[in-house]
Amino acid sequence: MTMDMMETFRQTYLEESFEGLDVMEAGLLELPPGEPDNEKINEIFRAAHSIKGGSGTFGFTEIIDFTHVLETLLDEMRDGRRQVTQEANDVMLQAVDVLRDMMTRLQNHETIDEERAAEVQAELERILGTSADGSSAEPAQVVASEPVATQEAGQGTWKIELIPETELLQTGNEPIRIFRELETLGSLNAIVDDSSLPDINDLDPENLYLKWTLELSGDNIQEDDIREVFEWIDGDGAEIKYHKPAVSVAASEPAPAATQSTVQQEAVPAAAAPAPKVEAAAAPAAKKATAAKAVAPKQDSSIRVDLSKIDQMVNLVGELVITQSMLSQFGEQAEQGGDNTEWVDKLKEGLMHLERHTRDLQESVMNIRMLPVSFAFNRMPRIVHDVSQKLGKSIELVMEGEGTELDKTMLEALTDPLVHIVRNSIDHGIEAPDVREAAGKPGTGTVKMAAFHQGGNILIQITDDGAGINADKVYQKAVEKGVVEEGQHLSEQEIVDLIFHPGFSTADVVSDISGRGVGMDVVRRNIRGLGGSVEVKTELGKGSIFTIRLPLTLAILDGQLAKVGSETYVFPLVSIVESIQVDKSLVKGIAGQTELYKLRDNYIPVIRLHEKLGVEDARTDLESGLLVVVEDNGERAGIFVDDLLGQQQVVIKSLESNYMKVNSIAGATILGDGTVSLILDISETLSGHKGGNMQHSAA
């Protein structure tokens, strides 16, 4: 097998393993202590088993050994031999963290953190060494000596060597069917030997080149049942070697209870080394929290695409080929001469087809990059579980609109801001249960996350029913930190917005959750970097709503071209409400500075774009140009331009990565004639002019 093929299979294994870990984490968070939910435990067990099996294929022994201990604990729970406890749940969640860290390090070709894995494995083994009623059982005494006693056939782990003949597949027998039948008998771990696999050029798809070592674990596995699975190929298509389960016994004579534990417990798979003491395993919480942090994955990740999206794109490519053939034919007709009017009309028709199909193809390609926001939301149940448990709060997480799709790049960049807002909502927003009950609220607080479309944008709202943001406290903190001056007048919304100021925090105690003043300003900066915005609305005693507004994609937008002097600027079409000719009699001035324009029943601020961007050869008389009325976060303004040129779909190029950050500019694009045009950032352009919307009074 070539290295490229092995790497492809390896990446597929990692992707499926990460998906399995997500299933395990979600299942553990939903698993209530007490009576076991067998369906949920089976789901978690199957995911762990698949990870172990895939790891065996590639010989990742550290993952196999670690997962085996976790699998054993789950097996005891699903068989009813052990109750589900909160302690066991928490340790199994830590085990999921360790496995995710292992997978991430494998993906990045880094060394596995064996120390952290050993700590959590010791915790799992400690729980396995505790009886179902909570009392401590004697640990199994196992040493790595030669086996001196053989178990009954119905218990332990069978080892089976499967050496198929090359022509096995041609007889209609498939190893995968055999593996599935074995899995009905117990827990199966398959380790593949691909040493006989030829180069891809010499590979015959009808031949079988692999060998397997199979480990079948469980209770009441009878030798006859195993042989029955292989009866169609044993000795006639494959060589099968059966190794009965064996057990090692301690050198010293054990007590009867310990002997029974040795025979029945499969809970110490890594017993070749002495089990760590419980005290060593129970490391300080701070150490665990630090060690549990996953290694940041590298950005060149893959993406799974719905087959219907691929089919649509292939169909559109076919339409483009037809259109290209049509245009080529028109070109040949033009060279031959004849009636110019006829072929010019056909050429125009072909170009219309080309434009339509190109646009459809572009939308189809962009659609492939779209993923449901559940990819970001799915991290939140674990965040809520861990933070609420640490703070002693009871939190219910409600998620809506998880199927709403967003560009993959934006989703990846959005995850950290969402995590920070949710953590802040739990820490600062939701009160302690006794405080909530004293205020007449239910002891359990609610954090709600919702995603939905609005006006060509995606909105994500994080709502909590906590105490809300105390504007007086925020103002006093702002004065103490020198952010505002004592006595400076600010509206309540302006005071609340101070939480986005760099280094600002209202926390009285610094913790590892919040209070260092590093967070909300980064949240706003990161979201603005995505071309979006974030705002907060709050009501004291009722809670807060954080609203994140994002464009559907970062790459392409529908734009309105506008002339300002000799420059051409692009307005995002979704931000434009209307454009109007200016009537000077409707223009009012405030303190000789801000100009307001009466638009029906409201006054909106007038922004002279040439002044804001320093364009010297632009028109200055309002009646000689146009007002482009734009809206951002519910606020409207009129941007004065010389003229409107037309609408065009443009590809956004980052100005910051190629030059530098420019205020009021979101990016740049190259127009059809080859000239470069700047794309306006409407949110920044309106910054400093918001709050100027006033309702007109007839009095």
Residue 353: which of 330, 328, 319, 312 has the closest Cα?
Answer: 319
Same fold, 372-551 and 556-695: no
Give kind and range of the element (H or E) at residue 12. Answer: helix 3-30
Mean pLDDT value of segment 399-423: 88
DSSP code, position 427: I
Cβ contacts of 575 within 8 Å, gap of 6 or more:
630, 631, 632, 682
CA separation for the pair 55, 44 (Å, rounded): 17
Sheet containing strand 676-680, strands side by side: 643-651, 556-564, 567-572, 676-680, 665-670
Determine the topology of domain 3-137 in CATH.
Four Helix Bundle (Hemerythrin (Met), subunit A) (1.20.120)
How is 28-63 classified by DSSP, letter by letter? HHH--SBS--HHHHHHHHHHHHHHHHHHHHHT-HHH
Cα 6 → chain centroid: 26
- Residue 72 near residue 267 (C-beta atoms within 8 A): yes
Mean pLDDT, rounded, for 77-105: 90
Residue with the bigger pLDDT between 201 and 616: it is 616
Q: What is the pLDDT of residue 685?
A: 87
Q: Is the dihedral of CA 617, 692, 664, 577 positive or negative?
A: negative
Model's pTM, two decimal places? 0.58
Assign 3-class secondary structure to 604-620: EEEEEHHHHHCCCCCCC
3-state secondary structure of 251: coil
Q: Which of 113-117, 510-514, 594-598 has the lowest mean pLDDT?
A: 510-514
**503 vs 309: CA distance, rounded Å:** 45
Domain boundaries, the chain: 3-137, 149-247, 307-368, 372-551, 556-695
Q: How would CATH label the architecture of 556-695?
A: Beta Barrel (2.40)
Lookup result for tokens 């066991």: 88
Q: How many Cα neighbours within 13 Å face the side chain of 482?
A: 1
At residue 431, the pLDDT reads: 93
93, 421, 65, 461: which is closest to 267 by C-alpha?
65
Query: How many CA atoms, within 13 angstroms, populate the side-chain half-sphere of residue 683?
Result: 17
Q: Which residue has the higher pLDDT, 644 or 156?
A: 644
**Whole-angstrom Cα distance, residue 554 to residue 370?**
11
Per-residue pLDDT of 445-472, as tens digits, reads 999 999 998 766 789 999 999 999 999 9
Overall size of the chain counted in residues:
699
Residues 6+ apart with CB under 8 A from 391: 426, 427, 432, 513
The pLDDT assigned to 2 comes to 55
Q: What is the 3-state secondary structure (H, E, C) of 316-375?
A: HHHHHHHHHHHHHHHHHHHHHCCCHHHHHHHHHHHHHHHHHHHHHHHHHHHHHCEEECHH
In this prediction, residue 409 has a pLDDT band, given cuts at 50, 70 and 90, of confident
Burial 250-277 (b: 16+ CB within 10 A, else e): eeeebeeebbebbbebbbbbbbeeebee
pLDDT mean over 366-390: 87
At position 318, the amino acid (one-letter code) is G
Report the alpha-carbon distance of residue 295 to residue 484 in Å, rounded.
Answer: 39
CA nearest neighbour of 274 among 130, 118, 148 = 118
How many CB atoms lie under 10 A from the CB of residue 576?
19
Instruction: Tell me which residue has tokens 């939910």.
Output: 37
First and final C-alpha spacing in the chain: 85
* 271: pLDDT strictly greater than 80: no
Task: Report yes or no: 623 and 678 within 8 Å, Cβ to Cβ.
Answer: no
- For residue 30, the model assigns a pLDDT of 87
Amino acid at 666: A
Q: Which of 60-69, 153-162, 185-194, 540-549 has the lowest mean pLDDT?
A: 153-162
How high is the mean pLDDT of the chain? 78
Distance (Å, whole) CA 408 – CA 554: 10
Summarize the confidence of residues 92-105 as an average pLDDT: 93
Residues 647-656 have pLDDT tens digits of: 988 888 877 7
DSSP letters, 438-501, are HTTS-SSEEEEEEEEEETTEEEEEEEE-S----HHHHHHHHHHTTSS-TT----HHHHHGGGGS
Per-residue pLDDT for 518 more than 90? no
What class does CATH assign to 149-247?
Answer: alpha beta
pLDDT at 502: 79
Per-residue pLDDT reduced to its tens digit, 681-698: 888 888 767 555 555 443
102 against 231, higher pLDDT: 102
How far is Cα 96 from Cα 18, in angstroms, rounded to an integer?
A: 10
Q: Within 10 Å of residue 170's Cβ, how many Cβ atoms?
A: 12
545-582: pLDDT as tens digits: 999 988 776 667 789 999 999 999 999 888 899 999 99
Instruction: Label residue 577 exposed, middle or buried (CB < 10 Å: 0-12, 13-18, 19+).
Output: middle
Q: For the domain 372-551, what is the CATH code?
A: 3.30.565.10
- Strand, coil or helix: 635: strand
580 CB-near residues (< 8 Å, 6+ apart): 599, 626, 627, 629, 638
Q: How confident is the model at residue 201 (pLDDT cuts 50, 70, 90)?
A: confident
User: In what order do the strands lie in the sheet containing 533-539?
Assistant: 395-400, 445-454, 457-464, 543-551, 533-539
Of the candidate ranges 288-292, 387-391, 651-655, 661-665, the one whose mean pLDDT is the lowest: 288-292
Instruction: Give residue-wise pLDDT tens across range 110-165.
Output: 888 889 999 999 999 998 885 444 444 433 332 222 333 333 444 578 888 888 88
**β-strands 635-641, 602-608: how paired?**
parallel
Residues 6+ apart with CB under 8 A from 231: none
Band of pLDDT at residue 644, cut at 50, 70 and 90: very high
